Chain A
Amino acid sequence: MNIQSCVEVRNEWDIVKARQEGRNIAKELGFGSVDQARITTAISELARNIYLYAGKGRIEISNLDSSGKIGLRIIASDDGPGIKDIRKVMEDGFTTSGGLGAGLPGVKRLMDEFSIDSKENEGTEIITTKWLR
C-alpha cells in the first residue's frame, strides 16, 4: 500500500482539501484521534502560510515505512518570497498571531521531525514527520 497525495494550494478551499487528505491518510495508517487532529492542524498551518505568504504552492503527504516504523510525512513547498530570517520565525512569541503558540514553532512541537529550507525570492520547503507509536 502506498498512499500518497499532492494538493495544490491556491485558495482557502485547497487548505480544507489538504486537511482532508491528511486526515484520511493518518486514519488509514492507524493514527489515533488525537494524532489525527494534530497532523491536520499542522497541515492547516503550513497550507495557510503558503496561501497567505507565497500565494500558491503544494502540500504533499506520503507514508513512510522505515525498518518497521510507520510514519506520515508532510512536504509543504512553494516558489514564493521565502523567509528572510528563519531563526527568528522559529522563535517562540514571534508569530503575528502573538501568544497563541501556533505558527511554525507550534507545528514543530506537534510533529516528531521538522526541517525548513528557505531562500529569499526562491521559495520555501518544509518537511515534517509524525511517527506512529
Chain B
Amino acid sequence: MDDREIQLRRYKSILSKYLDDQSEQTLYKGQQFSRKMIEQKISPEEAVSLHVSAMESLYPDMPQEFKNSYAFLLEMMIGYGFAYREHQSLRSRQQQLETEIEIAANMQQTLLMGEMPTVESLDIGAVSKPAKKMNGDYYHFVQDENDCVSVAIADVIGKGIPAALCMSMIKYAMDSAPEQRMQPSAMLGNLNRVVEQNVDPNMFITMFYGLYDSFNHRFYYSGAGHEPGFFYNAENDDFGELYTKGLVLGVSKKPNYREYSKDLQKGDMIVLLSDGVTECRSSKGFIERDEIVAMIRSNLHLSAQEIVNTVYRELEKMQEFELRDDFTLLILRRKV
C-alpha cells in the first residue's frame, strides 16, 4: 500500500466518523491529521483530492453535480498550490541564508577580535555580545614589544550585516596605520578620513581609542562621540567619568580629537563600554549608568574578566535574556 492509500484510509475513517457524530473530538482528530499532512508537504490540491476520493468511495452514488463541483474546486486549488510551493521554496532559501549569515558571523569574530594581551602590570577583561547574529560593536587590543597596550572600542550606528562589514573596514584601517598606534588623537583623525570617504553617509561610527603605557602607567586616550567610560580610583574608592570631546567618525572632514591622559595607581581601573550597556532596558526602564557602576563596585574583589562576565549576566537577566543592542564591556585594571 503506498503513502497515498494509507492517507486516504485514515482520512476516510476520520471523515466518516465525523459525518456520523459531528463531535468536537473528531474535529480535533482532523486538525491533528492536517498537521501531519502539512509535515508531509501535502499540497492544497492534494488535500482536496484526498477529500474528493474519500467522498467518492463513501458515496458512490453522489450526484453528478457534486462530482463536477469537486473538479472545479480542484482547479481552484492549483493556484493555492502555486503559493504554497513558492512559500516552501522561499523558506528553504531563508534557512540557507541564515546558515550563511551564521558562518559569516563566526568568521567575523575570529577575524576581528584577535588575541587578548598578556601584560604583567594589567588585568584585562572583555565581553562582547551581538544582539543579532553579527556584532556591530567592536573592540580590539594590541600589545607591542614594549608592553604598551592599545585598546579600541567602537560602535557602528546601524545594526546587522552592514554595520559588521563596516567594522571590518575599520579594523583593517587601524592595522595599516601602525605609526599612529601610539597617538590616540592621530589614530582617530586617520579613521575619520577613512570613514568619511568610504562609508555611506547614513552610517556613523563612535569610537574610543586608548593606549596604556606599562612603563609609566599612564593611559592616553581620545574619543569620537563614544559613550564615556569610567575611571576607578582605588585609593578614594571612587568612580569618575572618562569624558572625551570629539565628533563621531565620518561626519566632518577635519574634526579635532583631543587627547587626554590619566595616571593609574595600583588597583585603579579603566572601564570602557558601548551604549548597548547603558541602553539596556529592564522592566523598570533604562538602566542608569549608576547602576552599572554599582554592579562593578560590588564585584571589585573578582578578576577583570569575572567582573565583566558578572555584569553581563546580571544585565542579561534584567532584560529577560533579550539583548536589544550589541553589548561590549571592557575593563583594564593596574595589577602591580
Q: Which residues of A contact B (CB under 8 A)?
A: 32-34, 37-38, 40-41, 92-93, 99-102, 105-106, 109-110
Contact = CB atoms under 8 A, between A and B. Distances in A.
Contact of A34 (B49, B89, B90): B49
Contact of B82 (A32, A34, A40, A100): A100
Contacts of B89: 92, 105, 109
Contacts of B78: 37-38, 41, 110
Contact of A102 (B49, B75, B82): B82
Contacts of B52: 33
B79 interface: yes
Interface string B143-160: 000000000000000000
Contacts of A38: 45, 78, 81
A101 B49 contact: no
Contacts of B82: 41, 100-102, 106, 109-110
Contact of B46 (A34, A41, A102): A34
User: Is the interface on chain B under 10, 10 to 19, 20 to 34, or 35 or more residues?
Assistant: 20 to 34
Interface of B: 45-46, 49, 52, 71, 74-75, 77-79, 81-87, 89-90, 93
B179 to A, nearest CB: 48
A126 B260 CA distance: 71
Given A34-B45, A106-B82, A101 B87 contact: yes
Contacts of B90: 92-93
Given A33-B74, A100-B79, A110-B78, 17 more contacts: A33-B52, A34-B46, A37-B74, A37-B75, A37-B77, A38-B45, A38-B81, A41-B79, A92-B90, A93-B90, A99-B86, A100-B82, A101-B82, A101-B84, A106-B85, A109-B85, A110-B81
Contacts of A105: 86, 89
Contact of B86 (A34, A40, A93): A93
17 contacts: A33-B49, A33-B74, A34-B49, A34-B74, A37-B45, A37-B74, A37-B75, A37-B77, A41-B75, A41-B82, A100-B79, A100-B83, A100-B86, A109-B86, A110-B78, A110-B81, A110-B85
List the 6 shortest-distance A-B pairs measured between CB atoms, nearest first.
Answer: A101-B86, A101-B82, A106-B82, A101-B83, A34-B49, A109-B85
A59 B7 CA distance: 36
Nearest to A40: B75
Contacts, number: 55
Nearest to B77: A37
Contact of A92 (B46, B75, B77, B93): B93
Contacts of A32: 49
Contact of A33 (B71, B81, B85, B93): B71
Contacts of A37: 45, 74-75, 77-78
A92 B83 CA distance: 10
B45 A99 contact: no
Among A38, A99, A101, the one with the most B-chain Cβ atoms within 10 Å of its Cβ is A101
Contacts of A110: 78, 81-82, 85
A109 B89 CA distance: 10
B69 to A, nearest CB: 13
Contacts of A101: 82-87
A37 to B, nearest CB: 5
Contacts of A41: 75, 78-79, 82
A37 B44 CA distance: 13
A128 B71 CA distance: 24
A29 to B, nearest CB: 18
Given A34-B46, A37-B45, A92-B90, A99 B75 contact: no
A41 B84 CA distance: 15
A105 B83 CA distance: 11
A93 B85 CA distance: 12
Among B46, B71, B79, B85, the one with the most A-chain Cβ atoms within 10 Å of its Cβ is B85
A32 B52 CA distance: 12
Contacts of B83: 99-101
Contacts of A106: 82, 85-86
A33 B84 CA distance: 19
A92 B45 contact: no
Contacts of B87: 101
Contacts of B46: 34
